[in-house]
Amino acid sequence: MNFIYVNMQAKHLDEVAELDRQCFTLFWSRNLFESELNNPNAYYIVAQCEDKTVGYCGIQTVAGEGSITNVAVLPEYRNRGIASALLERIISYGKEKNLDFITLEVRESNINAIKIYEKFGFERVGTRKNYYSDNKETAILMTKQL
Ligand SMILES: CC(C)(COP(=O)(O)OP(=O)(O)OC[C@H]1O[C@@H](n2cnc3c(N)ncnc32)[C@H](O)[C@@H]1OP(=O)(O)O)[C@@H](O)C(=O)NCCC(=O)NCCS
């Protein structure tokens, strides 16, 4: 299977919103993704397989700092390196933009995601208690210096 990685565009919004709904309990609306397309401080990449959107990753940048909003891959396309490829590109983007560091929050139970982030050099720097509104789960705050 071949995957390609392209900047998110308006034509991807329906599929990205559906993908998010499948991947998260607290998912984003299509409108939210659309507003990210119009946000000059946001950058999103999608992974495509034969014209189908199978994953995405986004980052928001403010004053030299990046914050990964999310990374998600459709269940049937996982464990093929798609999230890794997306993160690699988002980190390269951060370097091109001369960001000092990139942060993210991840549920403390999300061991798979934490492992990926650690693989890319993100380090645990703190926690945010009661961060997720659905089950009051703690978020692990991770940072990667660029
Ligand atoms: C987390 C997620 C994005 C990973 O996507 P993916 O495309 O399957 O990830 P990759 O194939 O790039 O895997 C990369 C690494 O993840 C880890 N990993 C992935 N799946 C794993 C599994 N089932 N068990 C253990 N480790 C796993 C491994 O460390 C792997 O590294 P390796 O390739 O060196 O072995 C995907 O599972 C997902 O969409 N989950 C739901 C949404 C989510 O939780 N997003 C993160 C929010 S912070």
Count CB neighbours of 21 within 10 A.
Answer: 13
Nearest to 56 by CA among 65, 68, 66: 68
Q: How far is CA 88 from the centre of its chain?
A: 11
Give the residue numbers annotated as catalytic, written as ranges. Answer: 105, 117
- The Å distance, Cα 23 to ligand 1 centre, comes to 12
What domain range is 19 assigned to? 4-145
> What are the pLDDT digits (tens) for 132-141?
999 999 999 9
**For 2-51, how does the pLDDT look when each residue is reduced to its tens digit (9 = 90+)?**
999 999 999 999 999 999 999 999 999 999 999 999 999 999 999 999 99
Reported as half-sphere exposure (CB side, CA atoms, 13 A), residue 66 has a value of 27
Global pTM reads: 0.94
Number of structural domains found in the chain: 1
C-alpha 63/C-alpha 65 separation (Å) is 6
């690699």: which residue's tokens? 88
Which atom of ligand 1 is closest in space to residue 104's alpha carbon? 48
Pocket of ligand 1 (CB under 6 A): 23-24, 70-73, 78-84, 106, 110, 112-113, 115-116, 119
Domain CATH number, residue 101: 3.40.630.30
